[in-house]
Amino acid sequence: MNLRAIKAIYLFEMSRTMRTLAQSLISPVVSTILYFVVFGSAIGSRIQEIDGVGYGTFIVPGLIMLTVLTQSMSNASFGIYFPRFIGTIYEVLSAPISHLEVIVGYVGAAATKSTILGLIILITAGFFVDLQIAHPFYMFLFLILTSVTFSLFGFIIGIWADNFEKLQIIPLLVITPLTFLGGSFYSVSMLPPFWQTVTLFNPILYLVSGFRWSFFENADVSVGVSLSMIALFLMICVLIVWWIFKTGYRLKD
């Protein structure tokens, strides 16, 4: 494996974060603080506890997942779309590096950025609520798996999109609503039986539920099922990326 090539792509993508620090790090953290102000204070004054956990504390895993999901897709999709847009992707494809090394460089950088951002939000949340993590290992496992999986998904979106509008369609119109409806700010047990069943078809539910379990040992679905679902989605993304490079879809046009 050409580690020098991976390092070059990885460092180039990471340096873009430093050039756009306000957009990449500061803006998501400010948005999270606003969520705490609105949901934690306004709604938290009416909903004292959920499953024995204070509401302000309960929403922390959901806020982290919301940010990690959206930022993973945004970083990865823009990271591969922009070289396609200006034509420099052909320099990467013609270089003596494998497709795996290209993917590791781009996806690894996007996953690193979203993981760091998730940890920053976790630290920020500690200033607002009393937060304890019951299972730190599983917390990091869910955080890293989610970052890698949705960075791969964003990589796919960046290759599929042929304009900036398409680049934002799926994250804004599909993923963000699914995250809000996936138990990020409430427990599924609070819903009527019919909507509890409907929510089980939302894949984001399993990510949020498993991640929340690592904090409070409370989960809407089994932790094993949550891990299985994210592993399945990861495998699907890997297969799609493999097919893209095998066929040259949107890369060799």
Categorize the per-residue pLDDT at 2 as very low, low, confident or very high, splitting at 50, 70 and 90.
Answer: confident
pLDDT score recorded for residue 29: 78
pLDDT score recorded for residue 185: 84
Helix axes 203-216, 136-160, angle to 10 degrees: 160
pLDDT score recorded for residue 22: 66
Give the tens place of pLDDT for each residue, 154-212.
999 999 998 888 888 888 888 888 988 888 888 888 888 888 888 989 999 999 999 99
Mean local confidence (pLDDT), 104-113: 93
pLDDT score recorded for residue 231: 94
Give the tens place of pLDDT for each residue, 225-240.
999 999 999 999 999 9
pLDDT score recorded for residue 131: 85
- Which residues are CB-contacts of 221 (< 8 A; sequence separation ≥ 6)? 200, 205, 206, 209, 210
pLDDT score recorded for residue 41: 67
Q: pLDDT at residue 53 above 90? A: no
Distance (Å, whole) CA 206 – CA 163: 31
Distance (Å, whole) CA 83 – CA 92: 9
The two three-digit tokens of residue 158, written as one number: 């960046």
**How remote is the C-alpha of 106 from its chain's centroid?**
15
Query: DSSP string covering 108-147, please?
Result: HHHHHHHHHHHHHHHHHHTTTS----S-HHHHHHHHHHHH
- What does DSSP assign to residue 134? S
Mean local confidence (pLDDT), 6-19: 85
pLDDT score recorded for residue 40: 65
The two three-digit tokens of residue 65, written as one number: 């997942």
pLDDT score recorded for residue 45: 63
Mean local confidence (pLDDT), 93-111: 89
Query: What residues form DSSP beta bridges with 50?
Result: 53
Distances in whole angstroms, Cα of residue 9 to Cα of each of 5, 19, 194 = 6, 16, 48
Give the tens place of pLDDT for each residue, 74-101.
889 988 998 888 888 888 878 888 888 9
Distances in whole angstroms, Cα of residue 28 to Cα of each of 21, 31, 53, 82, 224 = 11, 5, 25, 22, 30
Distance (Å, whole) CA 25 – CA 28: 6
State the residue for tokens 């756009």: 20
Q: pLDDT at residue 249 above 90? A: no
Q: Are 118 and 22 in contact (CB under 8 A)?
A: no
pLDDT score recorded for residue 134: 94
Distance (Å, whole) CA 128 – CA 44: 12
Query: Rounded mean pLDDT of the chain?
Result: 87
pTM (predicted TM-score): 0.91
pLDDT score recorded for residue 99: 87
Give the tens place of pLDDT for each residue, 23-44.
677 777 788 778 777 776 666 6
